[in-house]
Each structure stands twice: as structure tokens, then as C-alpha cells.
Amino acid sequence: MPHFLSTTDPDFETRFAALLTMKREDSPDVDEAVAKIITDVRTRGDAAVLELTARFDRMQLTADKLRFSDAEIDALCAEVSDEEREALELAAQRIRAYHVRQMPLDQMWTDPDGATLGWRWTPVSAAGLYVPGGLASYPSSVLMNAIPAKVAGVERLAITVPTPDGVANPLVLLAARIAGVDEIYRVGGAQAIAALAYGTETIAPVDKITGPGNAFVAAAKRRVFGKVGIDMIAGPSEILVIADKHNDPDWIAVDLMSQAEHDESAQSILITDDAAFGAAVAQAVEKRLETLERRKIAGKSWEDFGVVITVRDLGEAAMLSDRFAPEHLELCVEDPDGLSEKIHHAGAIFLGAWTPEAIGDYVGGPNHVLPTARSARFSSGLSVLDFLKRTTLAKMSPEALKAIGPAAERLAKSESLEAHGLSVRARLDRLNADD
């Protein structure tokens, strides 16, 4: 049974607030182990990476085997069916078309004082993408991380993916090839993150690391942050569906289950203005849970973290949704665009009943790497901006310096930074002497 709430309940606010702060994930404390692994890779390079790979992935490698050769990639890609290849290619093409539009423009202008100002965007030189092994080895995530990097203009894009017992996922390799990845290494865990951040004899260091991973990978990313840039540390997935009674309860039920099946810690929330519809969806969920392949995972997530909230009207639904700031938000209502205008905090919005969230996971075009755990209040999904940085530009004409230099000198004095003021004064004195 999920949590049932109604905004007309006298204890609604208390129960809702408790839901907002509910802890869904207990990360094991692996920080000490990870610190040791990072030091080991920094100190001993390839040798450490090879030992750790032998220990964790049961693979006896030599340094020259760390990187997948072109022939190996060719052979694995050939295992993929035509149908899967075409689906990946369609997804890649749509993701690329969306992200190309995100490329920001450089600007440069001269203001009335004679100061020429602006900025310029440049890509990071090298990026590393972590891809989990085993069950969570998702080719769609390879596309979602790698394509924005390549659209941004990253010259060197390396992937690390563990291959426990030597088993590689052909779809991951094919996705990497389609996305234009330059190097693929069979390394996983904290040792992969350390190698990407600090480099080894075989793996050159990168400037930015993105991609999901387990507790070891997350702890390693936190530790190397500063030495390199990292993306967000993602928590378990969430979906919030706002649906009125004009929906098919089964469609909404299966949408809720599409998050719940990810992980027992995932959260699926329905907000509706019709209590009977809410009950019908809950019933449809139970029905789907009878046959779903991942019913154990999805059922546990729904029982522990599932929520059905009945509201007085859709305006109330938007307000509550903003307090969740959900990763994924489906608006299955008559006027989804109008309701969307009332939403301020959400990673991605799916407008209307013909847009199940799963479309966005694969082929919609927008990125599926999105802020979780209410962080959509202050952060955004992955984009080309994550692989770019901005250099600001300023050029003073002598006239501009005359016009605004004295104010800089004045403020430098107020802040007791004499040399700051003198660097302006030396130039102003020359200008005055020249007059």
C-alpha cells in the first residue's frame, strides 16, 4: 500500500512534510576504502589499476589490454541486432538534434564608455564518462552523457566500464561508437575514477568526469572534485504524475511503475484532483504488479515510497509538485501547457497523456540525466553547458579607463588594496600627462 493523502486531511501538512524529508537511500560509508584506492592509483598507476581489476572484476589483465582495441569493439558491435542498432541510431540522432540547440553564443559589444566587453565559450579538452557494469549498464546513458560532450566540442572523450569476469555489454560499446567516443577502458569502480582524474601510464587524465555509478564511484567522484570537474551525484529516481480523471488509470499506473522498477529506493507519486481516480490507479498498479518482470523491486518501491495525493484543484497540485521539485513530472491533464506555466521546480516535464516519461529516457531528445532528491530547486539536467566553460573578456580604451578608472581606484582604497588602485593610477597618470 502506498501512502494515501488528501489536502483536506487535518494532518495533511505534517504528513506531507514528513514525505519530503523521508530518507530513501542509505549509502554505505565507503569513503575510507575509496581514499586508499585513489592514493594507490595515484602512486602506482597502471599496476594498481590492474591489481584492483583482478580483485573486484576477477579479470587478469595486462596494461596493453586495459583499452578495448578497434577490432574488439568491431566484434562486439557486430553482435547487436539490426533492430537494436536502428533504435540506438534514432535515439542518438534525436538526442544530438536537441543538444545542438543548447550551444550558447559568444558575445562581444562596446558600451558607451568605450569598454569592449563579452565572453567566449570553450569546451573542456578531455572528458571521462563512467559507465556502470552489470545490470545497470545502460546504453541509453552512454548516449545521454557522450553526445552532449561531443556536441560541446570535447576533443577527447574516454569511457571506463567494468567488465566483471570479462563480460562486456555489446550495446554499450555500440552506443559509445555511435556517440563518437574516442577511448574505451575496461575498468570500473573508484579505480576508474582515480585513473581518469590523475591519469596512469595508459589512461591520460581528463578535465571532467560524468556518469552514474555505485557508492564507490560516487565517493570517488566527490574526492576528485576540484582536481577535475564532476557532474551531479545522482540519487534514486523519482516520478511525479499530475493526472485528472480523464486518463486511463492503467496508463498512469504503468508510468508510475516505470520509475518504481528501477530501484527499491525509487519513488512514484500521483497527484490527482479526483479521489476515485486515485483509487483506480492504485488498483491498476496492483494489477500490473501481478505480472511485471521486476515486480519485486517495483512492488517494494511502491509500498515503501509510493504516494497518492488527492488535491482540491490542479493549482494545488502544481504547488505541491514544486515542493517535491521532482526529477520527472508528467502532466496528464486537459491543458498541460497551462499547468506547466505554474511549475517552477522540476528536472523534466512531460506534457500530456501521449508523453510517457519513458519516451524521455530513450528517444525524446532532452537529456535523461536529471536532478534528484529535490535538487531541481537549484540544479539542472546534464547539457552541453556541462562540457563548456565561459571566459569573460574585457578591453578598455584609454577613454574608458578615464571614465571608469577613478571609481575602481576609489573602491580599491576602501578595500585597502593599494596595488589594485595603483595599477589603475599608473595608467591614468600617463593619460593625464599626454593630455
Residue positions forming the annotated binding site? 130, 191, 214, 237, 259, 262, 328, 361, 415, 420
| Interface with its own copies, residue 115, by CB under 8 A | yes
Q: Mention every residue, 6+ apart, whose C-beta is less than 8 A from residue 226.
A: none
Binding site residue list for substrate: 237, 259, 262, 328, 361, 415, 420
Give least dist CB 309 to its own copies, A.
21
Binding span for its own copies by CB under 8 A among 37-45, 157-165, 246-254, 313-321: 246-254
Cβ(335)–Cβ(314) below 8 Å:
no
Figure out which of the listed residues 15, 67, 294, 342 binds its own copies, where binding follows CB under 8 A: 294
| Burial (0-12, 13-18, 19+ Cβ within 10 Å), 130 | buried
φ, ψ of residue 54 to 5 degrees: the values are: -60, -40
Identity of the amino acid at 281: V
- Over the window 66 to 105, marking each residue x when it contacts its own copies by CB under 8 A and - when it does not, the resulting string is -----------------xx-xxx-xx--x--xx--xx-x-
| Interface with its own copies, residue 148, by CB under 8 A | no
Binding span for its own copies by CB under 8 A among 106-114, 160-168, 177-185, 302-310: 106-114
Q: Mention every residue, 6+ apart, whose C-beta is less than 8 A from residue 165.
A: 57, 58, 59
> Between residues 107 and 283, which has the closer beta carbon with respect to its own copies?
107
Within 10 A of 388 (CB to CB), how many other CB atoms are there?
Answer: 20
Q: Are strands 183-185 and 156-160 parallel, antiparallel or unpaired?
A: parallel
Task: Let me know if 328 is a catalytic residue.
Answer: yes
Of 127, 107, 125, 128, the C-alpha closest to 116 is 107
Figure out which of the listed residues 5, 76, 171, 314 binds its own copies, where binding follows CB under 8 A: 171
Grid coordinates representing 165 are: 569476469
| Residue 213 to residue 368: CA distance in whole angstroms | 15
Of 69, 73, 302, the C-alpha closest to 168 is 73
Binding span for its own copies by CB under 8 A among 11-19, 63-71, 182-190, 380-388: 380-388
Per CB under 8 A, contacts with its own copies among 261-280 are 261-262
| Interface with its own copies, residue 417, by CB under 8 A | yes
Cβ(144)–Cβ(369) below 8 Å:
yes
- Over the window 116 to 135, marking each residue x when it contacts its own copies by CB under 8 A and - when it does not, the resulting string is xx-x--x-xx---------x
| Residue 127 to residue 231: CA distance in whole angstroms | 11
| Residue 30 to residue 368: CA distance in whole angstroms | 27
| Residue 214 to residue 220: CA distance in whole angstroms | 10
Binding site residue list for Zn(2+): 259, 262, 361, 420
- Return the H-helix or E-strand segment holding 358: helix 357-362
Binding span for its own copies by CB under 8 A among 24-32, 41-49, 144-152, 394-402: 394-402
Give least dist CB 152 to its own copies, A.
11
- Over the window 12 to 51, marking each residue x when it contacts its own copies by CB under 8 A and - when it does not, the resulting string is ----------------------------------------
Task: Let me know if 83 is a catalytic residue.
Answer: no
Per CB under 8 A, contacts with its own copies among 310-369 are 336-337, 340, 343-367
**Active site amino acids:** 327-328
